[in-house]
Amino acid sequence: MAQETAGDRPASAAVLVIGDEILSGRTQDVNTSYIANYLAQIGVDLREARIVPDETEAIVEALNALRARYTYVFTTGGIGPTHDDITADAVARAFDVDIGEDPRAIALLRERFSEGELNPARRRMARIPKGAELIFNAISKAPGFWIGNVIVMAGVPMIMQNMMDVVGPRLAAGPPVLVETIEAYGVSEGAYAAGLEAIARGHDGVSVGSYPSFTSAGFRNQIVLRSRDAALLARATSAAQAMLASLSKENAR
Amino acid sequence: MAQETAGDRPASAAVLVIGDEILSGRTQDVNTSYIANYLAQIGVDLREARIVPDETEAIVEALNALRARYTYVFTTGGIGPTHDDITADAVARAFDVDIGEDPRAIALLRERFSEGELNPARRRMARIPKGAELIFNAISKAPGFWIGNVIVMAGVPMIMQNMMDVVGPRLAAGPPVLVETIEAYGVSEGAYAAGLEAIARGHDGVSVGSYPSFTSAGFRNQIVLRSRDAALLARATSAAQAMLASLSKENAR
């Protein structure tokens, strides 16, 4: 058995999407999927995501539940200048720390706004919980921040992605999760389910999923195998391909 | 003050998306957004969404938290024939009821599969918690189900939508949420934030949001007003338009 230390265990993460616009159906959330892909590539396990409305109590409760459980919590949304942008204050409340105008954040905003433009609404974007580090973004200049294990980012996807590029290199990365996808042409899920289960059970350390989608040509099934161990993943993938091939031959008989 | 009974309060809802494929970034969840729009149109408030992996404990815990809190919980994913499809068993565990092969569900599957095709894997799709009602779908025949206040649906979007059409007419609908969207051309969020906050405060019963997006031409801001009261919504929308017009005039000076 391989020696296991805390450092060997992959870091875990949750995403907390904050915004009425997602829950009303107005806006399709694409940030969770982006963060999920980003984290998979640097070997951090995304374990959960939640979407909550622009309400302080809902944000505080979700944040406290998630930050107690995972290595990192990434929030998106609610850090702009309007009255519905309450994330920074909610995060301060969750951590029970003071919040106020941060001179470093004001300095960043001055790169974009003249003194006359820097009105009270825009200055709200400089409200940062005490003890937080700022997360720079090149697009809007209004910073995100990092406090404890919580990383607070913008909701606008381009800005969030910009912030993720700032934060990413500093995360406790592990071996990336490697992925193999097999197209199960002409074999239905129900036909390969037993064989696939046996492969999943026989390859501990490989996560095996089966994903049907419905197209104009009928169902399209994909088998997806994921692991941090390249050799193990290769073995499991070969086994799945062999199992599918034997089923196809059986079907052809 | 208007008389308020339990029947006057809008029904609330949560979505629970079940699936490793969403958390790994492989698949973009589109079901939450579809359900959100569907519910908004029939006047049910979507209050929260969660995404959890294909793990019994995670599903049970999220389901029990959500079903205690909201009128309805809609789950998507994990009701197929493969080993990673564990939603039905997790729901039975959450409700602490037995689960077994449901003859009604077997009858539905027989519409699609011959006796020879109806292998143990496919029969798993007929595992339904005791006391649940089946939710028919015309595409795959494998049913979803409704138990207590939990509505269990497929993850494949077309099938989920089919199930939603079956379930929708039976939900406790309220007045639909009406929406007005104002394009804030040429006025930045920071410029209209104070005016918009005053309008939000002055129109109780209208939810007022401001949503920037970043396009090749720069920021595009939209103000979105939502209410169940058409007259109130019209007043708030007029006020927001007048506020924006006065700011544009000021800018032009």
Condensed to tens digits (0 to 9), the pLDDT of residues B20-46 reads: 999 999 999 999 999 999 999 999 999
When pLDDT is cut at 50, 70 and 90, the band that residue B13 belongs to is very high
Partners of residue B114 in chain A, C-beta under 8 Å: none
Q: Do A25 and B47 touch (CB under 8 A)?
A: no
Across A87-245, where does the E strand assignment appear?
Answer: 99-101, 127-129, 133-135, 144-147, 150-153, 178-183, 207-215, 218-227
Across the A/B interface, how many CB contacts are shorter than 8 Å?
203
Mutation choice for A interface testing from B51, B60, B124 by most A CBs within 10 A = B51
pLDDT on residue B9: 78
Partners of residue B21 in chain A, C-beta under 8 Å: 209, 211, 224
Partners of residue B29 in chain A, C-beta under 8 Å: 29, 32-33
pLDDT on residue B3: 34
Condensed to tens digits (0 to 9), the pLDDT of residues B155-203 reads: 999 999 999 999 999 999 888 999 999 999 778 899 999 999 999 999 9
Q: Average pLDDT of A33-59?
A: 97
Other CB atoms within a 10 A radius of the CB of residue B112 amount to 14
**What is the phi-psi region of residue A63: left when phi exceeds 0, alpha when psi lies from -120 to 50, beta otherwise?**
alpha
Task: Assess whether pLDDT exceeds 60 at residue B109.
Answer: yes
pLDDT on residue A250: 66
Task: Assess whether pLDDT exceeds 70 at residue B55.
Answer: yes
pLDDT on residue A251: 60
Partners of residue A35 in chain B, C-beta under 8 Å: 25
Partners of residue B81 in chain A, C-beta under 8 Å: 189-190, 193
- Residue in A50, A84, A226 closest to B50 by CB: A50
When pLDDT is cut at 50, 70 and 90, the band that residue B214 belongs to is confident
pLDDT on residue A31: 98
Q: Average pLDDT of B95-99?
A: 98
Average pLDDT taken over every residue of chain A: 93
Which domains occur in chain A, in start order? 10-170 (3.40.980.10), 178-252 (3.30.70.360)
User: A235, A185, A208: which is closest to B24 by C-alpha?
Assistant: A208
Partners of residue B183 in chain A, C-beta under 8 Å: none
pLDDT on residue A214: 79
pLDDT on residue B225: 97
Cβ-contact A209, A224 below 8 angstroms: yes
Taking CA–CA distances from A125, the nearest residue in chain B reads B190
- Residue in B24, B37, B54 closest to A25 by CB: B37
When pLDDT is cut at 50, 70 and 90, the band that residue B250 belongs to is low
When pLDDT is cut at 50, 70 and 90, the band that residue B251 belongs to is low
- Residue in A47, A179, A190 closest to B119 by CB: A190
Q: Average pLDDT of B228-244?
A: 97
Q: Do A200 and B83 touch (CB under 8 A)?
A: yes
pLDDT on residue A239: 98
What is the percent of chain A where pLDDT is above 70? 95
Average pLDDT taken over every residue of chain B: 93
Mutation choice for A interface testing from B83, B119, B122, B140 by most A CBs within 10 A = B83
**What is the phi-psi region of residue A163: left when phi exceeds 0, alpha when psi lies from -120 to 50, beta otherwise?**
alpha
Condensed to tens digits (0 to 9), the pLDDT of residues A197-251 reads: 999 999 999 999 999 887 777 778 999 999 999 999 999 999 999 999 998 776 6
User: A109, A92, A84, A112: which is closest to A18 by C-alpha?
Assistant: A84
Q: Do A28 and B25 touch (CB under 8 A)?
A: no
Task: Assess whether pLDDT exceeds 80 at residue A6.
Answer: no
Mutation choice for B interface testing from A17, A211, A220 by most B CBs within 10 A = A211
Partners of residue A51 in chain B, C-beta under 8 Å: 32, 48-50
Task: Assess whether pLDDT exceeds 70 at residue A3.
Answer: no
Condensed to tens digits (0 to 9), the pLDDT of residues A102-132 reads: 999 999 999 999 999 999 999 999 999 999 9
CA atoms of B39 and B47, how far apart (whole Å):
11
Residues 6+ apart with CB under 8 A from A17: A29, A31, A32, A49, A50, A51, A52, A75, A76, A77, A155
Alpha carbon of A124: minimum distance to chain B alpha carbons (Å):
9
Partners of residue A154 in chain B, C-beta under 8 Å: none
Range with the lowest mean pLDDT among A212-226, B77-91, B106-120?
A: A212-226
pLDDT on residue B248: 76
Q: Average pLDDT of B86-91?
A: 98
Task: Assess whether pLDDT exceeds 50 at residue B47.
Answer: yes
- Residue in B21, B125, B201 closest to A211 by CB: B21
- Residue in A21, A81, A224 closest to B190 by CB: A81
Cβ-contact A52, A29 below 8 angstroms: no
- Residue in A36, A81, A196 closest to B24 by CB: A36
